[in-house]
Amino acid sequence: METPMSTIRDTLINLRPLEIPRPQSVRKQGAKYGVEIKTTAPRRTPLSQAYWYDCVKEANSEVPSKISVGYLSATSSRTSHTKAVHWDQLRGSDFLILTSICRFPEYNPEASTSNIKREDCAAEYSMEYSMSSEGISITDRQNVCNVFAVITETLKKHGSVLLPVCPTGVIYDLLEVISAQLDQHDISVDVPVYLISPVANNSLAYSNICAEWLSEKKQAMVYVPEEPFSHIQTTKNGRLHVYNSISGDFCRQMRTPCVLFTGHPSLRIGDAVHFLEMWGNDSRNAIIITDPDYPLNEVYGPFENLPIRAYFYPIETRLDYSQLNPSIIPDLAPKLLILAEEYSQNSHRSDFVIMHQPHSSFSYGRLLTISSSSNPKKVHLHPEMLRTIELHGFGQTNDFGISSVRGYLSVYDNLLKLFVMFFTVFLFQVEMFSGKAFIKLNDLHAEIRIENNGERTKITCSSKEIRQSIADLISECLKKI
């Protein structure tokens, strides 16, 4: 059914005002440790393993009020290469967002990797996964296989060890210890340790120059000068070899047995899949998963029939419930704790639940609305708005004046501005010629032409944003018809 041109004309004439917002530019700003990021948005201060947000809300120019938001993600209070957490600025926050808690709270990560005894290796193998018709099962979760005991024992059997890891984070600690452990267990210096990743060289380089994020001990080594990590010396000694990919030099220089760090711990992407398939048919080899976010029983399914020995040793340093409930959360004392639903309810273990009150929980894909005691907001008026304001006395003494305002409210970077309707256009006249409708918008330098009884519309305008807004508006009108 064809749409009469008169209907289209009447619809365009009665169209609501066309409001076209001003396009906003995107700004990029770097972040430095402990340095406040000053923008018109909430001011952010990156801390060690945490963020602190200072949301300034002013009810008026005389009585400013602040809302502080703390954010803890994958935070650790244990000693490692990272700088200790700065708790001071997180205390008394209005809102504290808590994420990435320890996935294995029953596992004690305090077991030292520096006190490995050779006679303990056999007992540690009780963590080895047995292959059965039901899949992969853990025969003894309590006796977690120590990663370095497995490495040394495998190398002595002339097998190779595959460790699927990410190129940052715990890899620094593993490389820090592995060379000393191999020397302690009389592993020949000719046995190489490989690190393969497109960002491996950059990752190791930045770990040595970004001292502000490191522990005080490692910071002191930077100013000696001395490398804060030992992987530079390990590379010079010929033990550690770093490659960007498995092609090229690595193919010609690779030798076994060896220890190989590469990605990805999910065993679905990365070079780890290639080496698992290549070494999987030899029971002398071993694969060790150390990332707690990728349990072996969840990622090892496609490879469960391979003879290679598979181990799961989660190096979990994130905050757990035994640290949060009795000490950390009460000490920080946030006015409202925001956390995932999984952290606030557990039907199996009551000690694996965050007990702090009040708290608000969220779930994936759902919008979380949090009420704030600071409701008024300051809105900046454009100077042109002052011309339209007509104050009327209020109260018995008329000490205060009030006026209604109408304009375009811009909310960008937490800054509210009220503008006049710069781009308001009323369509009063539609010209008809040879069955075609012509609408000229002189203020916007645009022209609309409707042909073939409304089946074809052509919009001419030099501005892409205005042209798109007009097209959306016409589409809305046609839907109503």
Instruction: Please give the DSSP secondary-structure letter assigned to residue 38.
Output: -
Q: What is the mean pLDDT of residues 251-258?
A: 89
- 337, exposed or middle or buried, with CB in 10 Å at 0-12, 13-18, 19+? buried
* Number of CB atoms found within 10 A of residue 277's CB: 13
Provide the whole-model pTM: 0.61
The pLDDT score that the predictor gives to residue 447 is: 85
Higher pLDDT, residue 106 or 334: 334
Whether residue 225 has a cis bond before it, omega within 30° of 0: yes
The pLDDT score that the predictor gives to residue 41 is: 54
Residues 408-437, buried b or exposed e (16+ Cβ, 10 A)? Answer: bebeeeeeeeebbeebebebeebeeeeeeb
Mean of the per-residue pLDDT values of the chain? 73
> Lowest mean pLDDT: which of 56-60, 88-92, 113-117, 339-343?
56-60
Is residue 7 helix, strand or coil?
Answer: helix
Residues 59-73: pLDDT tens digits?
222 223 467 888 888
Assign 3-class secondary structure to 94-142: CEEEEECCCCCCCCCCCCCCCCCCHHHHHHHHHHCEEEECCEEEECCCC
**Distance (Å, whole) CA 428 – CA 455:** 22
Q: Would 5-20+424-480 and 118-312 be classified into the same CATH topology?
A: no
Nearest to 108 by CA among 82, 68, 146: 146
Instruction: Kindly report the CATH class assigned to 5-20+424-480.
Output: alpha beta
Is residue 399 helix, strand or coil?
Answer: coil
> Lowest mean pLDDT: which of 72-81, 259-268, 412-421?
72-81
Domain spans, the chain: 5-20+424-480, 43-104+319-362, 118-312, 379-419
Residue with tokens 């009020």: 65
**Distance (Å, whole) CA 371 – CA 358:** 13
Contact 286, 150 (CB under 8 A): yes
Task: Provide the CATH number for the domain formed by 118-312 in this structure.
Answer: 3.40.50.10890
Residues 293-349: pLDDT tens digits?
898 889 999 999 999 999 988 877 788 888 888 888 888 888 888 888 888 877 577
